[in-house]
Structure 1
């Protein structure tokens, strides 16, 4: 098995586990694409893994990371922040030189 390119916190695992049943057993797929106000943006969605994705399971959750995104994600931590305002998945990415106010895009 290949090394996992990102770490998933306990809070993020809990939220993925909560959401997964509504998505028919597909993994949480993570990618980085060009876009957003800072140049790169995270794509996080329950979706079918694509050929070449790095896939693994942690307990009952399945994760897939786009192979083309690995260099921009390596060493990152995926966390989940709850609450009434601004709830959602958050990345701590050692490659991000800056982020935008929306928290979805970053500069690398």
Structure 2
């Protein structure tokens, strides 16, 4: 894993957080990696409270946080927001993932 760079958040992702009023609710977008899923690891993405030790990525008055355990798995990743015919969601383009599942939530290293 390349630990050279922290994850990056696109302006579009910060924009979407602003649209849903995350900061107004005192919340941040929490991005974490957990064991499980169909490929070994899975992303957990939810609104939550920042915690001590979290990496805070800030833009447009909004905050995205990544916990210390998940950080190495998300090094150099890009957190984005996409809208497609099948729905809208936050996505992660992770250069550390050797493969990913079609669902876009599960990956292997």
Where does residue 51 of structure 1 map in the other structure? 52
Report how many residues are paired.
106
SS in 2 for 1:87: strand
User: If the length of structure 2 is used for normalisation, what is the TM-score?
Assistant: 0.86
Structure 2 unmatched runs, 5+ = none
**Matching residue of 2:61:** 60
Name the structure where helix makes up a greater proportion of residues: 1
Aligned to 2:106: 105
* Aligned-residue CA RMSD (Å): 2.0
Task: Please give the alpha-carbon distance, in whole angstroms, between the structure 2 residues aligned to 1:22 and 1:85.
Answer: 27
Counterpart contact for 2:31–2:65, Cα < 8 Å: yes
Point out where structure 1 has 5 or more consecutive residues left out of the alignment. Answer: none
Listed as ranges, the matches of 1:1-108 within 5 Å are 5-21=6-22, 24-108=25-109
